[in-house]
Amino acid sequence: MSIFVDRETKLVVQGITGRDGSFHTRQMMEYGTQVVAGVTPGKGGRRFEDAVPIFDTVADAVAETGADTSVIYVPPAFAIGAMFEAADAGVKLIVCITEGLAVIDMTKVLPFLQERGVRLIGPNCPGIISPGQSKVGIIPGNICAPGNIGLVSRSGTLTYEVVDQLTRHGLGQSTCVGIGGDPLIGTNFIDCLEAFENDPDTTGIVMLGEIGGTDEQQAAEYVRNHLTKPVVGFIAGQTAPPGRRMGHAGAIISGSSGTAAEKMAAFEDAGIGVMKRPVEVVDLLKARM
């Protein structure tokens, strides 16, 4: 088992003919992901790599192929529109890799997705992989292995670092989700924690957080109240320079400055094993499982 994507996932790639889109589509196909369609306006009717049909619109792609998941590699100027389009076409999961989106535009997209019951992962994220089943996004498949650890992370490359540690030490993964580092994201830590808790094949969970915001504190609270499975966590930015203050309002709204120390303390309080270095993930997990 796994969360959000599995071997049944039928993927449409938005921006399949672009530089990043074509490169990673090949990687996803090699990994075994069911890439059933691609979309590039104006290139409808062609095929990608002589195999995957390309459509002008996501609606056409869904109608013809039954795609249920979309991954977005289009440039930032088109990524907001791409999310609206995918949700309107009826996919149930959208993974937006594109970075550089305006937060104010995200405030419009998110309720549109919620109204339609569509899950978004990202934007500005590395995507999701259920090792051995399906890879949607850019997480390198070769560093992952099937297994029972669920991983959720705000970071991209730090995720690879930790997954690599897990795999090298025999801890395969049920699913790894990169939720993205933007202020407004579709799927947060708690969504993933809940899904991992309900996934019978996940026996341990890794959370990778960062300074800024209070998502990790809320996630810690959720772990304390709802999780039965062991969780270990890391917060990047312990030595980061004091971030640019967001004026009075920032302090007022968060009631917190979002420092690493504060988040690590919240993890400790919730019984989450706190990693000081990425390499510690394996020992901490093994000690708790």
Partner 1 sequence: MNIHEYQARELFRQAGIPVPDGEVATTPAEVEEIARRLGGGVVVKAQVHAGGRGKAGGVKLAQSPEEARAAAEQILQLTIKDLPVQKVLVAPIVDIASESYLGMIMDRESQRPVIMVSPAGGIDIEEVAATTPEKIFKLAIDPRYGLLSHQAMGLAFALYHDVKQVRAAARIMEQLYQAFVTNGASLAEINPLITTSAGEVLAIDAKMSLDDNVVDRRPDLEALRDESAEAPSEVLAREAGLTFIKLDGNVGCVVNGAGLAMATMDLVKYYGGEPANFLDIGGSSNPEKVVSALRIITMDPNIKAILFNIFGGITRTDDVANGIVAALDQFSVDVPIVIRLTGTNEDEALAILEGVGKTALKDMDEAVQQVVRVAQEAA
Q: Is 240 in the site for partner 1 (CB under 8 A)?
A: yes
Q: Is 129 in the site for partner 1 (CB under 8 A)?
A: no
Residue number with CB closer to partner 1 (99 or 201): 99
Q: Interface residues for partner 1 in 134-163 (CB under 8 A)?
A: 138-140, 143, 153-161
Q: Is 208 in the site for partner 1 (CB under 8 A)?
A: yes
Distances (CA, A) of 223 to 233, 235, 255: 11, 16, 21
CB 143 to partner 1: min, Å: 7
Q: Is 90 in the site for partner 1 (CB under 8 A)?
A: no
Among 6, 84, 92, 146, the residue binding partner 1 under the rule CB under 8 A is 84
Q: Is 249 in the site for partner 1 (CB under 8 A)?
A: yes
Q: Out of 24, 169, 226, 248, pick the active-site residue.
A: 248
Among 1, 251, 261, 287, the residue binding partner 1 under the rule CB under 8 A is 251
Residue 174: CB partners within 8 Å, gap ≥ 6? 1, 2, 3, 130, 131, 146, 147, 148, 149, 150, 196, 199, 201, 202
CB 68 to partner 1: min, Å: 18
Q: Is 116 in the site for partner 1 (CB under 8 A)?
A: no
Work out the number of other CB atoms within 10 angstroms of the CB of residue 179: 26
Angle at 236 between CA 233 and CA 240, to 5 degrees: 150
Strands of the sheet with 52-55, listed across from one edge? 47-48, 52-55, 34-39, 10-14, 69-72, 93-96, 119-121
Residue number with CB closer to partner 1 (143 or 270): 143
Q: Is 122 in the site for partner 1 (CB under 8 A)?
A: no
Angle at 178 between CA 181 and CA 203, to 5 degrees: 135
Catalytic residue list contains 226: no
